[in-house]
Amino acid sequence: MALCLASWASFSHSDPYTYSATGNAASSGLSWDMLNVMPDVVGLDVTGVFYRYTIGKDPAADALVHIQNENALGSGYIFRETDDWSGIAGNTITKGIPVSNIPLEYWGIGSIEVEGAGSISDASVVYSYRIDECTNPQSNPSCNGYVPPVPIVTIDKQETYDALEDDAYRIASEKTDQEYQEEETAKEDQGDDKERKARLERGLAASKNALALTSGISQDAILAAMGYTDDMSVYYATQLDGGAYAETLTLVDGKLPENQLGLRNGLAQQLLHEQLIDLQYD
Amino acid sequence: MKHLAVAVLAVLPHMAMAEGVPIEGNVQAKCVIRTDRAGVYGNPTADKLSALAADGGVTPIIRYDVALAGYYLARITYPTSFSTSPSLTDTVTWTGGASVSSVSAAGMSAYDAAKVEYDATTEFDLTVAGTTWFKVDSAAEYGYNKAFPAGLYRAIIQADCIAQ
Amino acid sequence: MKVAIAILFATGAGAHEMTPAYPELHQSVVAQIMQADLSLFNARNDVEYYSISVLDGEMNPIQFASAQRVMHVPPGSRKDFEIYIKEVDVNRVVYVCTTSMLRAGEENNAIVSSRICSRLDGDRA
């Protein structure tokens, strides 16, 4: 059970498409601009065309009715459906044509065109479409490539209180007469202190250099000791006890018997071999 | 070990083989009858019940879907009696008919010209595959200018799809 | 208008369907009795019962047997059923039909009773 659960792939993906349909594109006439029919969004594909109209005609007359959209990015038509009413009475037709998700930019001017004798009334053309919400990933948090927006933080200028600027502190920190006197005494002592520090520093420097000198000497001695090699000739002169490894497996009688179980196979191969040889000779 | 190796070698070719799984299906003759719109009788005059829109009624629409052309006949019979009504002491005169209301293929427009009518039945030969909507007119008149008694009136349209 | 067109590819709210159009008669488990297998799909919300009938070319009834003469098929469901006829009647049998049965007192003002007939006599006319 745990193995099944571990190997079960979770296909949790939501459909990024929104599906809808337009109103009647032919409500204002038998020709229409797709820009006025379709919503103004990116990532829109047309998925189907549904139409309905009534044609009035003489049953004996010929008539073809074309429901079509021009190819906005090329020549010809991106969609064209023809109803042949030739030789039959007019009627109302209702039809739906699925379209394989053609992007909106291909769809040019749409129209209902009558070729022959007939008149169209009560025309209705509806386009079904889908919108890919993830064309702009920022439109939906579930889209790939969605970057959560960083909130803009505004910091109001705060007035800060500096306690050191406070009058109370300034008054309290003013020097008194006693402090002035102590200051003068400290200055005199300071001169002696400076000389003493300088002498100390010189002395320490000397001792530090001395240590550095001596450590360098001892380090050299250590390196020399490490690099010292003894007489290596002993290694070159070492002899190994060798010899020969005699064969232990021997064939007692010097004969390799035939495999009794494979006699038939061996015989067949032998016969075949002999046949092949004989073929060379007439 | 040798047996295991042989077993693995025997299985490996089958594991590497990928078989396509076909999906099969076939289109068979099929007729589907749908009631797109149930009718309502209007009462334009005291002695008349009618499903025509001009008489205040609602014309029933029946939809026939056929998968293959030429396999079925559509037979529509308008009502010739009430299934539910108050007690009626006089005769009721029934009129009606069926005709093509809308089509999904232009060729179906020829059904009206080729239909056969007998008694209260209209028969259409469904020679084009697709969907055809038929409208059924129905009207009933009571006696001679006699008012229908008050009450609920119901009638039934029979829609048949007969394999040829 | 848009709604009427949009339902072209949608499942109809009230549909009656029976397949196959040409069922084959085959020997049943009982000697001298032939059997045909059919399937009925009920998409009518207003009908739940269908009657089975077997008819000749003149639409006259022919004796037959079935598990149920009147089937209960809930809306939106499919039911497979068999009909059995005597071998001597095979040459007379033409149609097997299912007819929607409307409950008395529950019909609308003018309702449609649907009947679909399949043909048992082999090749198409």
Q: Looking at chain C, which residue has its C-alpha nearest residue A22?
A: C2
Whole-number Å distance between alpha carbons of B59 and B41:
8
C2:A126 CB<8 A: yes
pLDDT, position B112: 92
* Range with lowest mean pLDDT among B5-9, B72-76, C85-89: B5-9
Burial class (CB in 10 A: 0-12, 13-18, 19+), B25: exposed
pLDDT, position A146: 83
The CATH H-level superfamily of C12-119 is Immunoglobulins (2.60.40.10)
Average pLDDT, chain B: 86
pLDDT at A252 over 50: yes
Give the nearest partner residue to B106 out of A52, A59, A93, using CB atoms.
Answer: A93
Q: What is the mean pLDDT of residues A254-272?
A: 75
Handedness of CA A266, A267, A269, A273 (dihedral sign): positive
pLDDT at C13 over 80: no
pLDDT at A106 over 90: yes
* Range with lowest mean pLDDT among A164-173, B65-74, B78-87: A164-173
Phi, psi of B119 (to 5 degrees): 50, -125
**In chain C, domain spans:** 12-119
pLDDT at B18 over 60: yes
Average pLDDT, chain C: 80
Banded pLDDT at B17 (limits 50, 70, 90): low
Banded pLDDT at A203 (limits 50, 70, 90): confident
- The answer to whether residues B78 and B38 touch, using CB atoms and an 8 Å cutoff, is no
Domain containing residue B56: CATH number: 2.60.40
The listed range with the strongest mean pLDDT (A9-13, A121-125, C98-102, C110-114) is A121-125
Query: What is the domain extent for residue B148?
Result: 29-163
pLDDT, position A235: 62
Q: What is the mean pLDDT of residues C89-108?
A: 81
pLDDT at B4 over 60: no
Both tokens of B10, joined, read 């025997």
pLDDT, position A196: 78
> Domain A17-134 belongs to what topology?
Jelly Rolls (2.60.120)
Banded pLDDT at A49 (limits 50, 70, 90): very high
**Single-letter amino acid, residue B74:** A
pLDDT at A3 over 70: no
B65 lies within 8 A of chain A by CB: no
- The answer to whether residues C2 and A21 touch, using CB atoms and an 8 Å cutoff, is yes
Contacts with A95 from chain B: Cβ below 8 Å: 104-105
**Single-letter amino acid, residue A258:** E
Beta bridge partners of C35: C26, C84
Give the nearest partner residue to B104 out of A59, A65, A95, using CB atoms.
Answer: A95
Is B1 part of any domain?
A: no
pLDDT at A25 over 60: yes
Banded pLDDT at C9 (limits 50, 70, 90): very low
Is B19 part of any domain?
A: no
Phi, psi of B50 (to 5 degrees): -145, 145
pLDDT, position A173: 82
Distance set, CA A12 to CA A142, B29, B162 (Å): 11, 39, 48
pLDDT, position C10: 30
The full DSSP string for chain A is -HHHHHH---------EEEEE---TTSS-SEE-HHHHS-S-SSEEEEEEEEEEEEE--TTS-EEEEEEEEETTSSSEEEEEEEE-TTS---EEEEEEEEEEEEGGGEEEEEEEEEES-EEEEEEEEEEEEEEGGGSGGG-TTSTT--PPPPP---PPPPP--GGGSHHHHHHTSPPHHHHHHHHHHHHHHHHHHHHHHHHHHHHHHHHHHHHHHHHHHHHHHHHHHH-----HHHHT--------------SSS-----GGGHHHHHHHHHHHHHHHHHT--
B:124-143 residues touching chain A, CB 8 A cutoff: 131, 133
pLDDT, position A189: 64
Banded pLDDT at A192 (limits 50, 70, 90): low
pLDDT, position C2: 34
Q: Looking at chain B, which residue has its C-alpha nearest residue C111?
A: B156
Whole-number Å distance between alpha carbons of A16 and A281:
80
Banded pLDDT at B102 (limits 50, 70, 90): very high
C16:B33 CB<8 A: yes
- Of A50, A43, A37, which Cα lies nearest the Cα of A17? A43
- The answer to whether residues C124 and B73 touch, using CB atoms and an 8 Å cutoff, is no
B:3-62 residues touching chain A, CB 8 A cutoff: none
- The answer to whether residues B61 and B135 touch, using CB atoms and an 8 Å cutoff, is yes
Banded pLDDT at C20 (limits 50, 70, 90): confident
B80: left (phi over 0), alpha (psi -120 to 50) or beta: alpha
pLDDT at B2 over 60: no
Contacts with B35 from chain C: Cβ below 8 Å: 14, 44, 46, 111-112, 114
pLDDT at A72 over 50: yes
Q: Three-state SS for B107?
A: helix
* Range with lowest mean pLDDT among A61-75, A80-94, B3-17, B62-76: B3-17
B109:A88 CB<8 A: yes
pLDDT digits (tens, 9 = 90+) for A210-223: 665 566 566 677 77
Q: Are strands B154-163 and C110-119 parallel, antiparallel or unpaired?
A: parallel
Q: Looking at chain B, which residue has its C-alpha nearest residue A96?
A: B104
Distance set, CA B125 to CA A164, A244, B111, C93 (Å): 106, 107, 7, 22
Distance set, CA A152 to CA A139, A155, B122 (Å): 19, 10, 75
Give the nearest partner residue to B51 out of C95, C110, C117, using CB atoms.
Answer: C110
pLDDT at C109 over 80: no
Total number of domains in chain B: 1
pLDDT at B84 over 90: no
pLDDT, position C125: 42
Q: Are strands A92-103 and A44-56 parallel, antiparallel or unpaired?
A: antiparallel
pLDDT above 90 covers a percentage of chain B that reads 60
Is B104 part of any domain?
A: yes
Q: Three-state SS for C6?
A: helix
The full DSSP string for B18-83 is -------------EEEEEEE-BB-EEEETTEEE--GGGT-B--EEEEEESSTTSEEEEEE--SSEE
Q: What is the mean pLDDT of residues C76-89?
A: 92
Q: What is the mean pLDDT of residues C73-95?
A: 92
ipTM of the complex: 0.75
pLDDT, position C19: 84
B104 lies within 8 A of chain C by CB: yes
Q: Mutation test of the interface with chain B: which of C5, C99, C109, choosing the one with the most B Cβ atoms within 10 A?
A: C109
Q: Tokens 């045909």: give the residue.
A: C36
Q: Three-state SS for B151?
A: coil
pLDDT above 70 covers a percentage of chain A that reads 78
pLDDT, position A104: 93
**In chain A, domain spans:** 17-134, 161-220
Q: Looking at chain C, which residue has its C-alpha nearest residue B36?
A: C14
Q: What angle do CA A233, A235, A238 make, to 5 degrees?
A: 110
